[in-house]
Structure 1
């Protein structure tokens, strides 16, 4: 039984006349009459009884009305749940990222425009976030140097430079810039396999013929920074990832300026999702704010 027929029946039951039901739905009276005839033909039961100029529900009609009323109320509740508190865009968006910094700038702009959207952010290394995107465990990914894949759509958010994280008391902390060769004799802290930072660093070391083994491998930028401030070695990060801890300084690495690009990525099949479209609509303003 079509939803249009049930809406017509529900409207007539509320208004008490076919014309009233038609006015309520903004459709013609003959269309409403046809919907009611089709319901009675399908059920083989009268759903209304005439009382003067008004229509009243029969016992079978009352049973049907109660069921349809619950259904339409549930539909209304579902629509309201997907709207924000002010009637604007609402719902839940799941975003994955290989770092908290650029993604939070994007989420901040998204929430400024659409305060009714609930955003869940999942963090992990680039390989994990990419797998989550392809498996539809997240709606949007913000990751460095996303692979080119015909199944996905992406736009550039920011360009990133690689820096060395040096303890503030280290002799190299006063340098304006460093070369990778300057670090060959230092205890170095690497990220885990699957990290965009580590991938770029590994490619650069191999390209320069530098065979440098780390003294420590850690699974997050936060743990790398914690190790650096304790004087355990020199780590690596992107320039946007630097925190305000004065015990660890970010020193530019020559030749690594804008070496990586953060992309916002979704599956092409998700481009029809209004929440996903809202994310991509924010990219231009976020990129402009970064350039200021």
Structure 2
């Protein structure tokens, strides 16, 4: 099994049929069918349930799809980095981040680096700490902005200067919207949506354990729609959701105030591609005082 096999497999998954993938790849259908059978035999697993119309992935097929996407991306990224190593600084930088106004700190560094090196491309991914650390571990991200605990033996980090304040996102017609700030006592018995990233903290906090947690979320935009539809109120950072005059939502800070400072992390002893190394150096210069 090589990277070309995986690319052909992903084409079959994407197109949904062997014939469609063969047309997209400009190869003969019998040849592609044989390559897929050889792939299954080599792995000792059935990857597809072949129907009259579209293929369906087996559990083994879904596992291979996830890994194939990672492997193909890493191989192509390595090819680009090797090709670019002897030329002017260019290439791709992959940044993960939890949702926060603190991302402005990173984007400002991106703007400065790109102004001097317009051939560097920046790619961002949103997620919680565990998602982002998994992607860093798998080589899919260079750095990530996180807001909960991480293994300091595995990662280097720098703190961003601005802290994010917790508060409550709710409908403007909610009774609590009349208050300037909200306490945990005010939330007693209310269904609350909590970021998945902060669930570990909930287990160690008496105040958070007292909440009636109705659900968790990963991205605040989806949670805001749940709030709009009356499912609950959301514990979240401020400034991430539109609460202007045209919005049905409002935000109130928690009292006493609770703030979290994010940190940008990357793997210790990481050997970066030139573009990523340049960005990390600029980031440290900006943040380490």
Whether these two folds match at TM > 0.5 is yes
- TM-score bucket (shorter structure): 0.5 to 0.7
Q: CA deviation at 1:91?
A: 1.0
Contact 1:106–1:283 (Cα < 8 Å) also in 2: no
Contact 2:167–2:253 (Cα < 8 Å) also in 1: yes
Residues 217 and 286 of structure 1, relative CA distance in 2, 3 Å threshold: same
What is residue 140 of structure 2 aligned with on the other side? 137
SS in 1 for 2:191: coil
1:8-54 per-position Cα deviation (integer Å, ceiling 9, x unaligned): xxxxxxxxxxxxxxxxxxxxxxxxxxxxxxxxxxxxxxxxxxxxxxx
Moved more, 140-149 or 195-204: 195-204
Distance 1:186 1:82 in 2: 59
Contact 1:102–1:240 (Cα < 8 Å) also in 2: no
1:122-157 per-position Cα deviation (integer Å, ceiling 9, x unaligned): 222211111222232211111113424223210001
1:177-231 per-position Cα deviation (integer Å, ceiling 9, x unaligned): 111111013222233xxx2233444543xx2385433334444311111111233
Structure 2 gaps of 5+ residues are 1-78
Distance 1:244 1:262 in 2: 23
Q: Does 1:164 align with 2:182?
A: no
Contact 2:135–2:141 (Cα < 8 Å) also in 1: yes
What is residue 256 of structure 2 aligned with on the other side? 255
Distance 1:184 1:197 in 2: 19
Contact 2:158–2:263 (Cα < 8 Å) also in 1: yes
Residues 170 and 81 of structure 1, relative CA distance in 2, 3 Å threshold: farther
Residues 203 and 160 of structure 1, relative CA distance in 2, 3 Å threshold: farther
What is residue 269 of structure 1 aligned with on the other side? 269
TM-score (norm 2): 0.59
Distance 1:287 1:232 in 2: 42
What is residue 237 of structure 1 aligned with on the other side? 236
Residues 159 and 227 of structure 1, relative CA distance in 2, 3 Å threshold: same
Residues 198 and 212 of structure 1, relative CA distance in 2, 3 Å threshold: same
Residues 136 and 80 of structure 1, relative CA distance in 2, 3 Å threshold: closer
Distance 2:284 2:240 in 1: 19
1:271-292 per-position Cα deviation (integer Å, ceiling 9, x unaligned): 665424424524675899xxxx
What is residue 223 of structure 1 aligned with on the other side? 222
What is residue 60 of structure 1 aligned with on the other side? none
Moved more, 240-249 or 230-239: 240-249
What is residue 155 of structure 1 aligned with on the other side? 158
- Which of residues 117, 120, 133 in structure 1 aligns to 2:123? 120
Matches within 5 A, 1:1-292: 78-79=83-84, 83=88, 89-99=89-99, 101-103=101-103, 105-114=105-114, 115-157=118-160, 158-191=162-195, 195-204=196-205, 207-208=206-207, 210-245=209-244, 246-258=247-259, 260-270=260-270, 273-274=273-274, 275-282=276-283
TM-score (norm 1): 0.59
Structure 1 gaps of 5+ residues are 1-73, 84-88
Residues 283 and 117 of structure 1, relative CA distance in 2, 3 Å threshold: same
Contact 1:100–1:123 (Cα < 8 Å) also in 2: no
Q: CA deviation at 1:103?
A: 3.2
Moved more, 273-282 or 244-253: 273-282
Tell me the matched-pair count. 203
Distance 1:151 1:131 in 2: 12
